[in-house]
Structure 1
Amino acid sequence: MLRKILNIALISFWVLTASAQMRELVFDEVVPTNEPPKIDGKLDDPCWKNAMVHDKYYAYFKENPPRASAKTEMRLLYDEKGLYLGIINFEPNIAKLKKNISTPDAQDTWTDDCAELYFDRYADGIGYRRFCINCIGTMNDTMRLDEANMRSEWSADGWTAKTSINSDNWVIEAFFPWSDLGQKPAVGEVWTMLHNRYSPQDGANSGYSCSSPGGNLVNTKNFGFLCFTDGKGKSNHDEIAGIINKRVAPPWGLAIDNGLLKNDGSKVSFEPFEDLLKKQQTAFDEKMAACEKAVSTVKNPEIAKLFEKTKEAYQKVKANDGKSLSYVLQLIAMDTVLDDIKWKIELESL
């Protein structure tokens, strides 16, 4: 009996400690510009070539989200006057864009093909300034002071945006004066932000995506980091890790420079993505095969059902998104489920 109690205690301890899953983060750098762009919805100004490109987008409002199927690119620049934004929304069904809302500051602007932009200058997940722009240039804004205080009547009075619709994409070009964002950041200052892309052509949210995994109007702690640099060079891994470690508890991971910068709780390290993917895939495949063999030896239908569900989820994830950090993190999450199945089998044998 004592041995059985000890085994159950060890299993319970493992389940609790295994639940600390690595959080995937987003970190973007904004460089200054001496020649601001003309806000005309074209993104053809030379300065945009100096902006860093954010092109990692994730399925919206999903746990362990895979990469989004819709391709999107975002660029940001800044100067003494404010922040400049450029977004290219690639769209194979351009004729099906939803563009019904034309009334300025309409609260339902977000129901069209549009961009929602959240800026949190304090980077604390409490409040934000929200700006919405649909594909025909209709603009709407709101402010959140905290979870209990949303000011839909608030209106920023200086920002401007223009859009253009092309054969296979639609474009946003916008300018936000610092007064609309709350303050001008100092060099090296870190904000958080989120870009949601809404593409409701199929009448559901399957076409929705976001710039930071798990980020949305509710999960403000999952906004991506935005660092205002001096433009003299890209921050190195140690500098970025130092910024993140002040704000996020480990374990965390950041896809950068074709690899993974991570803090596993014991140290900060960088691993080339191909090496990471190969190692994680091999380990998962071996565990999947061992688990399948073990499941075949027990008669509990619930365990078999859980394994089949995990197997189906794995096959779906691999088919849709088999080469990104999101995929690796989903492997890690499913690896935890396989370990859970393993311990359920162990309990059956007690």
Structure 2
Amino acid sequence: MGLPALGLLPVLAVLSGANALHAAEPATVSFYECLRCAKAPVVDGKLDDPCWQSLPAMDQFYQYWTPVAKPPPLKTAARLCFDDRGLYMGLTLYEDRLDQIKAKITSRDAPDLWQDDCVEIMLDPTNGGTGYYKFTTNSLATRYDEKTTNMVMDSGWNVEGWQVKTSRGNDAWYIELSLPWSDLDRKPREGDIWSFDLVRYGYCSGAFKGVTWALGGSYANPSRFGHLGFGRFAPWTDAALAHVAKTLAKTKGDRFRMLLPGLVLTHDRGRWQRQGLKEWVQVALKLPDQELQQAGTATAGLSESDVKARLDKSVAELTTKLSELHTQAAAGDLSPGVAALAFDQLATLRRQLADVKWEAKLWALVAEE
């Protein structure tokens, strides 16, 4: 007994469309307002300077080496500021097993420094997506720097102006770093935008773990770096948005989305859309709610069988996942990072619901033959 070919065509067409759900979304782009500091911090590794207390946190990190938003295995936060002399960074690297931090490399420019618990800081002032300056350091304040041009790495490139100090607390270790503009042979003006990524490697669990501030960003993929905006860009005037769109177009094209504290800015083919962060997630939940009902209706129409039992179980599991995402969206302190993860989970959930729905419909058609 076979299913008529004409009856199968609409099922295959919709399944194909369901697989394209995630691909149709604008790229998620990280953006941080790097504010000017009235007084530069003292680089001693303690992060107790007044400037660190007032700056916004860069804490929206993702699992490393994947283009899909996945929860970060290492909790990390950074704060950045600048003045006429250089860029300053204060990093908090949370760790429950501080005594197991891997810290063996002490030699300047050791190529295996990345095999210690460390961070990589990458800057591309040109926003070209094919080159950058990279600065790596570990908990011993060991330094490594390199320059990549047109995706060709030069590990012999060295600058000596940048300084690093580190310290340890009860549940985290800290990095304080200053990078003079003279090391980069250029200085940003107020309103400039540079490509940037911050990557962290950790080995305390006995296996490699990594996080990146820019989703999909890495030393091998500078076109996916996030962006530092020097100065204040909020409240995001039309002029500021036009400047961002023009700058990011080099690497992000004309469709991208920036998740900011309390705000989502989506650029789509020359137009900007503003949404509240919570509103954006809640709107995204509406379609899965409808699709869950459709999947449940499709499985309810099946005769009792092992197939129906399996599909009913899938619907129950997806119902639980969707309920958890509703709870996250209702949280009063919804962060951009949590929102981004929830949005990607919704895309996966929608594909799974489509699979359940159309498999149930397929079995229903087979049963009619």
> Normalization by structure 1: what TM-score?
0.83
Deviation of the 1:59 alpha carbon: 1.2
In 1, Cα distance between equivalents of 2:54 and 2:344: 31
Deviation of the 1:177 alpha carbon: 1.5
Match of 1:193 among 193, 196, 201: 196
Match of 1:162 in 2: 165
Match of 1:101 in 2: 105
In 2, Cα distance between equivalents of 1:121 and 1:211: 17
Match of 1:171 in 2: 174
Match of 2:51 among 34, 47, 56: 47
In 2, Cα distance between equivalents of 1:213 and 1:310: 31
Deviation of the 1:259 alpha carbon: 3.2
In 2, Cα distance between equivalents of 1:180 and 1:345: 62
Deviation of the 1:264 alpha carbon: 4.6
Residues 73 and 210 of structure 2 are in contact (CA less than 8 Å); yes or no, is this contact kept in structure 1? Answer: no
Q: For 1:212-238, what per-residue CA distance to the aligned partner results, in whole angstroms no more than 9, with x for missing partners?
A: 111111221211111112x5x744264
Structure 2 unaligned segments of length 5 or more: list them: 330-337
1:212 partner letter: A
Structure 1 unaligned segments of length 5 or more: list them: none
Residues 76 and 85 of structure 1 are in contact (CA less than 8 Å); yes or no, is this contact kept in structure 2? Answer: yes
> Normalization by structure 2: what TM-score?
0.79
Aligned to 1:53, the other structure's residue is in SS state: coil
Match of 2:347 among 321, 324, 332: 332
Residues 64 and 210 of structure 2 are in contact (CA less than 8 Å); yes or no, is this contact kept in structure 1? Answer: yes
In 2, Cα distance between equivalents of 1:181 and 1:62: 29
Residues 30 and 76 of structure 1 are in contact (CA less than 8 Å); yes or no, is this contact kept in structure 2? Answer: yes
Match of 2:261 among 257, 263, 270: 257
Match of 1:110 in 2: 114
Residues 135 and 163 of structure 1 are in contact (CA less than 8 Å); yes or no, is this contact kept in structure 2? Answer: yes
Q: For 1:156-200, what per-residue CA distance to the aligned partner results, in whole angstroms no more than 9, with x for missing partners?
A: 221111111111111111111113224111221110111011111
1:236 partner letter: W
Match of 1:203 in 2: 206
Give the stretch that moved more between structures: 59-68 or 265-274. 265-274
Q: How does 1:1-350 map to 2 (within 5 A)?
A: 7=10, 11=14, 14=17, 18=21, 19-147=23-151, 149-205=152-208, 207-229=209-231, 234-236=234-236, 238-246=238-246, 247=249, 248-265=252-269, 267-294=271-298, 297=302, 308=314, 315=321, 322-323=328-329, 324-326=338-340, 327-336=342-351, 338-339=353-354, 349=365
Kindly name which structure, 1 or 2, has the bigger radius of gyration based on alpha carbons: 2
Residues 66 and 317 of structure 1 are in contact (CA less than 8 Å); yes or no, is this contact kept in structure 2? Answer: no
Residues 318 and 353 of structure 2 are in contact (CA less than 8 Å); yes or no, is this contact kept in structure 1? Answer: no
Deviation of the 1:141 alpha carbon: 1.1
Give the stretch that moved more between structures: 46-55 or 14-23. 14-23
Residues 310 and 334 of structure 1 are in contact (CA less than 8 Å); yes or no, is this contact kept in structure 2? Answer: no
Deviation of the 1:134 alpha carbon: 0.3
2:229 partner letter: C
Pairwise CA RMSD: 3.5
Deviation of the 1:14 alpha carbon: 4.2
Aligned to 2:179, the other structure's residue is in SS state: strand
Give the stretch that moved more between structures: 74-83 or 9-18. 9-18
Match of 2:332 in 1: none
In 2, Cα distance between equivalents of 1:317 and 1:89: 32
* Alpha-carbon spacing, 1:340–1:237, altered in 2? closer, same or farther (3 Å): farther
In 1, Cα distance between equivalents of 2:182 and 2:140: 25
1:163 partner letter: T
Deviation of the 1:342 alpha carbon: 5.0
Give the stretch that moved more between structures: 111-120 or 271-280. 271-280
* Alpha-carbon spacing, 1:210–1:309, altered in 2? closer, same or farther (3 Å): farther
1:93 partner letter: R
